[in-house]
Amino acid sequence: MIGKCLCGEIEFEIEGTIPNLFQCHCSLCRKQGGVASNAGTIVHESKFSWKSGANKVAYYKKDTGFSSNFCSSCGSPVPNQLGDTNKIWIPAGLLEGDEGQQIVAHIYTKSKAGWDNIPDSGQHFDEMPDIETFYNMLQRPER
Protein backbone atom coordinates (compact mmCIF):
# COMPACT_ATOMS: atom_id res chain seq x y z
CA MET A 1 0.00 0.00 0.00
CA ILE A 2 1.14 3.52 -0.84
CA GLY A 3 1.28 6.36 1.65
CA LYS A 4 1.73 10.06 0.84
CA CYS A 5 2.17 13.29 2.76
CA LEU A 6 -0.15 16.25 2.29
CA CYS A 7 1.83 17.81 -0.58
CA GLY A 8 2.60 14.43 -2.16
CA GLU A 9 6.36 14.95 -2.41
CA ILE A 10 7.02 12.16 0.08
CA GLU A 11 5.75 8.78 -0.94
CA PHE A 12 6.36 5.40 0.67
CA GLU A 13 5.21 1.85 0.22
CA ILE A 14 4.31 -0.93 2.64
CA GLU A 15 4.52 -4.47 1.39
CA GLY A 16 1.94 -7.01 2.49
CA THR A 17 -1.17 -6.61 4.61
CA ILE A 18 -1.48 -3.39 6.58
CA PRO A 19 -1.53 -4.24 10.29
CA ASN A 20 -4.25 -2.97 12.58
CA LEU A 21 -3.95 0.51 14.05
CA PHE A 22 -3.55 2.15 17.44
CA GLN A 23 -3.98 5.63 18.79
CA CYS A 24 -1.44 7.30 21.04
CA HIS A 25 -2.82 9.73 23.60
CA CYS A 26 0.51 10.97 25.01
CA SER A 27 1.29 14.66 25.51
CA LEU A 28 4.11 14.58 22.93
CA CYS A 29 2.02 13.17 20.08
CA ARG A 30 -0.62 15.71 21.06
CA LYS A 31 1.77 18.59 20.41
CA GLN A 32 3.35 16.96 17.39
CA GLY A 33 0.05 16.50 15.57
CA GLY A 34 -2.06 19.18 17.25
CA VAL A 35 -4.68 16.52 17.90
CA ALA A 36 -6.10 14.56 20.86
CA SER A 37 -4.35 11.43 19.62
CA ASN A 38 -2.69 10.25 16.47
CA ALA A 39 -3.47 7.00 14.67
CA GLY A 40 -0.70 4.80 13.45
CA THR A 41 0.61 1.33 12.99
CA ILE A 42 3.95 -0.47 13.20
CA VAL A 43 5.61 -2.43 10.41
CA HIS A 44 8.88 -4.33 10.19
CA GLU A 45 11.55 -2.32 8.33
CA SER A 46 11.81 -5.06 5.68
CA LYS A 47 8.24 -4.22 4.58
CA PHE A 48 8.91 -0.50 4.23
CA SER A 49 10.46 1.57 1.45
CA TRP A 50 10.61 5.24 0.51
CA LYS A 51 9.35 5.74 -3.08
CA SER A 52 10.13 9.44 -3.42
CA GLY A 53 10.98 12.49 -1.40
CA ALA A 54 13.21 10.76 1.18
CA ASN A 55 15.43 13.87 0.96
CA LYS A 56 12.42 15.97 2.05
CA VAL A 57 12.18 14.20 5.41
CA ALA A 58 13.02 16.56 8.28
CA TYR A 59 13.75 15.25 11.74
CA TYR A 60 13.26 16.52 15.25
CA LYS A 61 14.46 14.82 18.40
CA LYS A 62 13.57 15.93 21.90
CA ASP A 63 16.12 15.61 24.76
CA THR A 64 13.96 12.86 26.25
CA GLY A 65 14.38 10.74 23.11
CA PHE A 66 11.00 11.37 21.51
CA SER A 67 11.51 11.93 17.82
CA SER A 68 9.39 12.99 14.91
CA ASN A 69 9.90 12.86 11.16
CA PHE A 70 7.94 15.25 9.02
CA CYS A 71 7.76 16.60 5.47
CA SER A 72 9.86 19.74 5.16
CA SER A 73 7.43 21.11 2.55
CA CYS A 74 4.01 20.46 4.06
CA GLY A 75 4.64 19.43 7.68
CA SER A 76 2.84 16.07 7.55
CA PRO A 77 4.21 13.57 10.06
CA VAL A 78 5.90 10.77 8.08
CA PRO A 79 7.16 7.28 8.98
CA ASN A 80 9.73 7.12 11.75
CA GLN A 81 12.00 4.33 13.02
CA LEU A 82 11.07 3.36 16.58
CA GLY A 83 14.21 4.03 18.58
CA ASP A 84 16.91 1.51 17.69
CA THR A 85 14.41 -1.24 16.81
CA ASN A 86 13.80 -2.73 13.37
CA LYS A 87 10.24 -1.38 13.53
CA ILE A 88 8.80 1.66 11.79
CA TRP A 89 5.90 3.77 12.97
CA ILE A 90 3.48 4.62 10.14
CA PRO A 91 1.03 7.52 10.46
CA ALA A 92 -2.28 5.90 9.46
CA GLY A 93 -3.73 9.04 7.89
CA LEU A 94 -1.11 9.01 5.13
CA LEU A 95 -2.14 5.60 3.82
CA GLU A 96 -3.98 5.76 0.52
CA GLY A 97 -5.92 2.52 0.75
CA ASP A 98 -8.40 0.75 2.98
CA GLU A 99 -7.81 -2.92 3.69
CA GLY A 100 -10.22 -2.96 6.61
CA GLN A 101 -7.56 -2.06 9.15
CA GLN A 102 -9.14 -1.11 12.49
CA ILE A 103 -8.08 0.70 15.65
CA VAL A 104 -7.49 -2.10 18.15
CA ALA A 105 -5.52 -0.32 20.88
CA HIS A 106 -5.15 2.97 22.74
CA ILE A 107 -1.82 3.69 24.40
CA TYR A 108 -0.70 6.28 26.98
CA THR A 109 -4.31 6.58 28.13
CA LYS A 110 -2.93 7.89 31.45
CA SER A 111 -1.62 11.02 29.66
CA LYS A 112 -4.76 11.87 27.70
CA ALA A 113 -6.09 15.42 27.55
CA GLY A 114 -9.16 16.19 29.66
CA TRP A 115 -11.13 16.81 26.47
CA ASP A 116 -10.10 13.56 24.82
CA ASN A 117 -12.83 10.91 24.99
CA ILE A 118 -11.34 7.49 24.40
CA PRO A 119 -13.84 4.88 23.16
CA ASP A 120 -14.27 1.70 25.20
CA SER A 121 -13.43 -0.46 22.19
CA GLY A 122 -9.96 -1.92 21.72
CA GLN A 123 -7.31 -2.62 24.32
CA HIS A 124 -6.24 0.21 26.61
CA PHE A 125 -2.69 0.65 27.91
CA ASP A 126 -1.66 3.23 30.54
CA GLU A 127 1.71 3.69 28.87
CA MET A 128 3.71 2.05 26.08
CA PRO A 129 3.29 -1.73 26.06
CA ASP A 130 6.26 -4.01 25.36
CA ILE A 131 7.14 -3.26 21.73
CA GLU A 132 7.46 -6.86 20.49
CA THR A 133 4.19 -7.95 22.11
CA PHE A 134 2.47 -4.86 20.81
CA TYR A 135 3.83 -5.30 17.28
CA ASN A 136 2.59 -8.91 17.21
CA MET A 137 -0.81 -7.86 18.48
CA LEU A 138 -1.26 -5.45 15.56
CA GLN A 139 -0.29 -7.84 12.76
CA ARG A 140 -3.00 -9.45 10.64
CA PRO A 141 -2.80 -12.58 8.49
CA GLU A 142 -1.50 -11.98 4.96
CA ARG A 143 -4.41 -11.72 2.54
Residues engaged in binding Zn ion (CB under 5 A): 5, 7, 9, 24, 26, 29, 71, 73-74
Min separation Cβ 59 and Zn ion, Å = 14
Min separation Cβ 126 and Zn ion, Å = 13
- Pairwise CA distance, residues 40 & 95, whole Å: 10
Nearer to Zn ion, 9 or 116 (CB): 9
Min separation Cβ 98 and Zn ion, Å = 21
- Pairwise CA distance, residues 90 & 119, whole Å: 22
Which ranges of 20-122 would DSSP assign to H, the alpha helix?
A: 27-33
Min separation Cβ 40 and Zn ion, Å = 9
- Pairwise CA distance, residues 37 & 31, whole Å: 9
Nearer to Zn ion, 18 or 26 (CB): 26
- Pairwise CA distance, residues 114 & 84, whole Å: 32
Residue 95 per-residue DSSP state: B
Q: Cβ contacts of residue 66 below 8 Å, gap of 6+?
A: 28
Quick one: which H or E segment has residue 107?
A: strand 103-107
